Structure formats: structure tokens, C-alpha cells
Structure 1
Amino acid sequence: MAPGVDSYLTVFAVAAGITLVATPLVRRISERYGFMVEPDARRVHERSTPVLGGVAMFLGFLAAMGVAWWMSDFDVVFATASEPLGIVIAALVMIVFGTYDDVREMSAPAKVATMVLAGSILSFAGVTVLNLRLPVLDALILSQDLAFVVTVVWLVAIANAINLIDGLDGLAAGIVAIAGITFFVYSIKLADEEVLLPNNIGPLVAIIAGGVAVGFLPQNVHRARIFMGDGGAYFLGTLLAASTVSMGGRSSEPFAGQTYFFFAPMLIPLIILAVPVVDVLWAVLRRTRARTSITAPDKEHLHHRLMSLGHGHRRSVLILWLFTALMSTLVLYPTYTGEGEAIMVPAAAVLVLMLYTVFHPILRRRAPLSAGGRPA
């Protein structure tokens, strides 16, 4: 029997609560030992800031996994120990090497090797893509070798996407919180339609990812008192990759809502994570055209462009959070209603948000100034 929603909410509360308590403690440790990020030409923060926030989130993750293992409701999920253990080890690899990169600076090949190692651990533990359903086409059953490659590439892509979007205070954590909760809500529908087996670990990992992100946000919103760092970004990317692989890569049966347009299981995470996915694709294209290294840092990411348009730090973050929430609605609304045309409402809202994003700064600049020098 699958765990109930109440059990998942308990795990969510533990993940958020432990992360909330651990973050200030980790911040003090980071300050004491000098693990700080200094302002520079490619960063937007203006003061030296602690950078070990990923460690606090990892502690929340371990606590939530421990509570879930202790609760009898999750016995079916932990009946096979290889998948939970594989996810914990993969997350540990990412947080250790990512945190080392925050402190000592790793080379780009070393970072990729770390992600490949984490993806390999997931695949060998059984957290792997078994079925790949593409739009219009039938489900493809992957061979063992191809499943391994797809799983590793998926983790590398998601982890890098989260890391690249982590450029403004609270941006990456907020997007992961929205995405994790959305993946969990989506999994409830999969379970109701008997497409997702009761022992699937994907919903548990998704709700924990959302929980640790929510618990971290109070210390990370503008002006951030601590950053998640590469360790935190890679760690959150690993959780999202593991949860989406478990839910989307195991499902071969279609159901109403999933089959409309492009709603194949493995494409749904790309829709929900549209902001970081588009950002990483644009970064690769931009740097390739400029004939620079793909890993070369710059200030041309989506959030930088919003600020260049005239949106402030907080408004830029809110716009991208709202865009992620609307894309999540674009997935969940037709999935729960079973009506393909239901995407028109959230799609229209996305269009309105895009128009606001582009034209609001222009209208403010053209507005007549009052006596105080502000737009009338």
C-alpha cells in the first residue's frame, strides 16, 4: 500500500524544519572558518557571504530520509534498500565535491566527472530510466547500457541547470521548491491512475527536495545571509534528477492529461524547469557562437538580463518564480482535469507575464516624473 499524503507532509515538515534550524548554524561555521564568497565582476552580491548552505540542506535531507525510513507507512518504499541507499550516496558525492569546489575551486572536467560518478551510482542502484516515452511515439524500452547513459546525462543536465540559475538571492531555491512540490503533486495523480507503483521512491525524494529548499529560503532571499554554493546546487539537482527519473522513467502507460501535446513523463520536468533549462541551453549556444569555453562565466543569464531590463533584484526573482509556477500549472491543470484545452488559461498567463516583463521597465522609463523625481 502506498504511503498517504499525511505521511509525505510529515517528511516535508522534517526536511524544511531541520534545514531551517541547521542553516544559521552552518552560516556561523562558514563565517568562522572563512568559507565565504567575495563580490566580483560576475556576481551581483555586494558583500562577503557564507557559501556552505548546501551542507544545511543535506542535513535536512538526511533527517527526512531517516524519519521516512522509521515510519511504517514507507516500508514499501524502503523494502528494496538499493534505491534509497544509492540516492543518499549520490547526494553525498555531490555535496562533498561541490562543497570542495566552493572552497578550493575544481576544474570543469573534475566537476563533470563528479556528476558522472553520481549518475552512475544512481543507475547501478536501480534509479534509472527504463522506459522513454516521446511525444507522438510509443514508449521505448531502453537497453541496460542506453538506460545508464540516459540516466547519467539527465543528472548532468539537471544539476548544471540548477547551478547556472543560482545567480540571484533565493532564485534557485525557490525554483526547486516549486518544482519539487509540483513533481510530488503530479506523482499523486500518477498513483491514483495506477501508473506509479506504491514502492516508487520518486514522490518521497521530490517532497524532500521541496522541503529542504523551503527551509533554506528564509536565509537565502535578498539580501542573502548564506548561499547554497555549487555543493547545494548540485545536491538539489541530484534530488530532482533522481525523483524525475523514478517517476517519469518507469512509466510506460499513458493516461488522460499525460498524452496531450508534449506531456510525456520525461518531458514534464523540462516544462516545469523551463527557466533553468532555457538558461543552460542559451548559455551553451551563446558561448559556442562566441567560441569561448562552455564553462566560462558571464553575466548574460536570464536573471542578469531581467536586471538589465530594469527589474530590481527582488522583482527579477519573483518573475522567474512566477514563471516556474505558471509552467507547473501548465502541467498540473490538464493532468488533473483530463482536458487538453485546459492549458490555454495558464498559457495565457505565461504570455501576460512575458509582456509585463518586457514592457513594464519601458513604461516606467517613459512615465513623467513627479516633483520628487519618481514616476508620477
Structure 2
Amino acid sequence: MREYLVVFLVAAAVTYLLTVVAREIALRTGAVAAVRDRDVHAEPIPYLGGLAMLGGLVAAYFVARELPFLSTSNVFTFSDAGAVLLAGALICGVGVLDDIFELDALTKFGGQVLAVGLLVYSGIQFRFFFAPNDVQFSLDPGQGALLTALIVVATVNAVNFVDGLDGLAAGVVGISALAFFVYCYEITRINEVDRATTGAFLSAALAGVCVGFLVHNFHPARLFMGDSGSMLIGLVLSASAITVTTQFSSEDIALGADGARASWLPMLLPVALPILILIVPLMDLVLAVVRRTRAGRSPFAPDKQHLHHRLLEIGHSHRRAVVIMWVWAGLIAFATVLASLYTGPRVWATVSAGFAAALLLTFVLPILHRPGHAADPLSAALSGADEEPSETL
């Protein structure tokens, strides 16, 4: 656990420092979010935060290879992690070109497919699913590659889509990565196997990267991650989940904390977790496509009717809207992990209490404390000007 903490801190520190360099590169190359009619931010803000994030991930990778425990792990731990970082560098490069030159959607999609192809070529793809009665469903290479492509591309675009408020995407993905780290670590502890896994390493590094970037990106943001960052962290999040199916046996994943055979949830978690974590932005994406299509507009035509816009409309400040969506992301992510590893009334009582608290924060807090009229330190800390960065879709 201590070495994973080192990985987290290295990723956070390097990302924090490189963000200043990335901002300067963005200003020199013209990768700047200009102020448009549909935007609320009052001045241009640089992109290319993905460069700093990639630097943080790479630094964590090389440091981890020298740590006493992680350096002695299975050879596949770092070979798979290296493949994920190569695919991440590829998709980050596509995002950098988009941040500078504004690539068309088809070109970006092509870059995403190439990155998935690199993952599949490196052996990182879904291979099997299984039922609680020990029946295993094997996938042939074509089926596994197709499912891998669907999950990765959907996650990449969902993260890109949710990057609509300062700190929103980085916070959601950072919380999700922490939840998945807990899952990976607990799986190894419960089954008494090697604690060093690709999923745990990547999720710890990804959480650190998001924390380091948030210092510069939380409202008011000094830098946007841009497509270079949103596509990178989306790919790493989904790929870290996929590595669980390549490095754990079906027996390991299926065994619950009480030693009994688990239900369907943990067996489907590598597929379900990226979707469940991003269920709010994915739902927002579907609603946006339906809304725009019904209005006779392109599904990719931006508007201001997303969920985070609605939170602003009902009385939340910019910062508070972001924190509310972090709360929902954390609730979904950690509830999924808890339900997959543990059973009993305490688990469901904890999840129910979290759900009730999230509802109160979402709908009651804006009634009690309007932005600019906060009566308590929490509301004052979370209140801020209703400024908003450019939307990515």
C-alpha cells in the first residue's frame, strides 16, 4: 500500500509541475479556448492539460519500476501498463492536434480506434465472463476486441463529454480511479495473491494525475485539459479495468470477502465499472443526442441544457455544481465496489445513507443557501461565480 501511495504522490506532483509547462506550450501554439457566444468564461484559457497528465503517468511508471516491492512483481504488470501508456500517448497526441487545429470528429474517432488497436495488439482485451455457478463464457479474439473497442471508445467520449465545468472531468475520473484501486487491492487481499497488479498501479497513478491537475483546473481554471487530457484519462480508466480480466482468474474475481462465491456484479465489474462510474455523463449524452435530433439539429451541436447547466439553473454555484457531480460519481463508484466485494445489511445501509445525502445536497442545499448568500463555511467555500468553460461536444 505504501508504494502505491508513492505512485499516487509522484503522479500528482509531476502533473502539478508540468501543468505550468503545458500552459506555456498552449499559449505559444495557439491551443486556447477562445470566448464564444455560447461560452460564459470571460477570457481565453489554454488547453493541453493532457501533456502534463501524460507526463505524470510516465513519471509514476518509471518510479514504480524502481520501488522495492512493485519492481519484483509479475512481468505482465509493467508490460501491460507500458502498453496502456503507449496507447495513451497515441490518443493524447491526437488530442493535442485537435486542441491546436480542431480536427473533425471522424479523424478523432480514427485516432481512438488506433489506440484501441494498440491495446488489443498488446493483449489487453476482454477474454471471458463467468457465472456464479462456475460456468465460464469465453470470447474469441474478434468478440473480445470488439467489446474492448466499445467500452474504451464509449469511456473516452463520455469523459470528453463531461468536461463541461472547471474540475468536473478530472474530479469524476479521479474519484472513479480511487474506487477502482480499492477494488483491485481488495481482490488481491481477499484471494491472498500478489498485491502488485496493473489495475491497481494504473488507477493509483491516474488518481494522482487528476489530483495534481485539479489544483490548476478547479474553478476558476487556469488551464483546460482539452481533448488531449479527457481522451487520455478516459482510455487509462477503461484499460485499467480491462487488465483485471487478463491478470486475474475467474475464481479470484468471483470470490467475495466472506469467502463465498459472489454474484454477477463482481464478475461483470471490469465491463460495468467504466459504464456505471460514467452513467451520469452517459445518460446526459443520450439525452443530448435525443434532444438535438428532435429539434432538427446535429447530435454534435453544442447547447446549454446538460445536467451541469441544470444544476446551475436550480441555484448551485459553479463550484458547488462540480462538487455535487463529484458526490454522485463517488456514490456510484464506491457503492458498486462495495456491493461487488461485500454483502449484508451494513453495505446497503451505507449505500442508502449516501444516496439520501446526495439527494439532499442536490435539491435542498440550493434552497437553503443560494450562491452569494451562504450562511455557513461549507456553502461559502463551494460558492463562486457562475462562470463556465467551453463545452467539448
State the shift of 1:169 in Å: 0.4
Q: Residue deviations 1:31-60, cap 9 Å, x none? A: 244321112233332221011111111111
**1:49 matched to which residue of 2?**
45
State the number of aligned residues: 362
State the shift of 1:326 in Å: 1.7
Q: What is the DSSP-based 3-state SS (H/G/I as helix, E as strand, rest coil) of the residue aligned with 1:70?
A: coil
Q: What is the DSSP-based 3-state SS (H/G/I as helix, E as strand, rest coil) of the residue aligned with 2:310?
A: helix
Which letter maps to 1:339? G
Aligned in 2, Cα 1:40/1:69: closer, same or farther, shift over 3 Å? same
Aligned in 2, Cα 1:217/1:227: closer, same or farther, shift over 3 Å? same
**1:15 matched to which residue of 2?**
11
Q: What is the DSSP-based 3-state SS (H/G/I as helix, E as strand, rest coil) of the residue aligned with 1:126?
A: coil
Match of 1:154 among 140, 151, 156: 151
- Structure 2's unaligned 5+ residue stretches are 371-393
Identity across aligned pairs (percent)?
Answer: 35
Contact 1:334 1:341 survives alignment (8 Å): no
Contact 1:326 1:350 survives alignment (8 Å): yes
**1:66 matched to which residue of 2?**
62
Alpha-carbon distance between aligned partners in 1 of 2:38 and 2:328, rounded to the nearest angstrom: 24
Aligned in 2, Cα 1:133/1:278: closer, same or farther, shift over 3 Å? farther
Q: Residue deviations 1:52-97, cap 9 Å, x none? A: 1111111111111111223342345562465233212211111111
Which letter maps to 2:42? E
Which letter maps to 2:171? G
**1:131 matched to which residue of 2?**
128
Alpha-carbon distance between aligned partners in 2 of 1:260 and 1:351, rounded to the nearest angstrom: 25
Contact 1:330 1:347 survives alignment (8 Å): no
Alpha-carbon distance between aligned partners in 2 of 1:153 and 1:333, rounded to the nearest angstrom: 26
Alpha-carbon distance between aligned partners in 1 of 2:37 and 2:135, rounded to the nearest angstrom: 49
Alpha-carbon distance between aligned partners in 1 of 2:146 and 2:192, rounded to the nearest angstrom: 24
**2:21 matched to which residue of 1?**
25
Contact 1:160 1:280 survives alignment (8 Å): no
Q: What is the DSSP-based 3-state SS (H/G/I as helix, E as strand, rest coil) of the residue aligned with 2:316?
A: coil
Contact 1:49 1:227 survives alignment (8 Å): yes
State the shift of 1:350 in Å: 1.7
Aligned ranges 1:182-331 → 2 under 5 Å: 182-194=179-191, 200-248=197-245, 252-253=250-251, 254-256=254-256, 259-260=262-263, 262-263=265-266, 264-265=268-269, 266-331=271-336
Q: Residue deviations 1:220-261, cap 9 Å, x none? A: 000000000011000000110110111256553312269457
Contact 1:52 1:99 survives alignment (8 Å): yes
Alpha-carbon distance between aligned partners in 2 of 1:308 and 1:82, rounded to the nearest angstrom: 47
Q: What is the DSSP-based 3-state SS (H/G/I as helix, E as strand, rest coil) of the residue aligned with 2:65?
A: helix
Q: What is the DSSP-based 3-state SS (H/G/I as helix, E as strand, rest coil) of the residue aligned with 2:125?
A: coil
**1:170 matched to which residue of 2?**
167
Alpha-carbon distance between aligned partners in 1 of 2:185 and 2:23, rounded to the nearest angstrom: 36
Aligned in 2, Cα 1:134/1:23: closer, same or farther, shift over 3 Å? farther
Q: What is the DSSP-based 3-state SS (H/G/I as helix, E as strand, rest coil) of the residue aligned with 1:193?
A: helix
Q: What is the DSSP-based 3-state SS (H/G/I as helix, E as strand, rest coil) of the residue aligned with 2:137?
A: strand
- The 10-residue stretch of structure 1 (34-43 or 126-135) with the greater mean CA deviation from structure 2: 126-135
Alpha-carbon distance between aligned partners in 2 of 1:135 and 1:104, rounded to the nearest angstrom: 50
Alpha-carbon distance between aligned partners in 1 of 2:25 and 2:148, rounded to the nearest angstrom: 35
**1:144 matched to which residue of 2?**
141
Does 2:349 align with 1:344? yes
Aligned in 2, Cα 1:72/1:164: closer, same or farther, shift over 3 Å? same
- The 10-residue stretch of structure 1 (19-28 or 51-60) with the greater mean CA deviation from structure 2: 19-28
Note the aligned Cα RMSD (angstroms). Answer: 2.7
Q: Residue deviations 1:266-323, cap 9 Å, x none? A: 2233333333333333333434444543333222222112112221101100101111
Q: What is the DSSP-based 3-state SS (H/G/I as helix, E as strand, rest coil) of the residue aligned with 2:200?
A: helix
**1:372 matched to which residue of 2?**
none
Which letter maps to 1:45? H
Which letter maps to 1:225? R
Q: Considering Cα pairs closer than 8 Å and 6+ residues apart, tell me whether 1 or 2 has the greater RCO.
A: 2
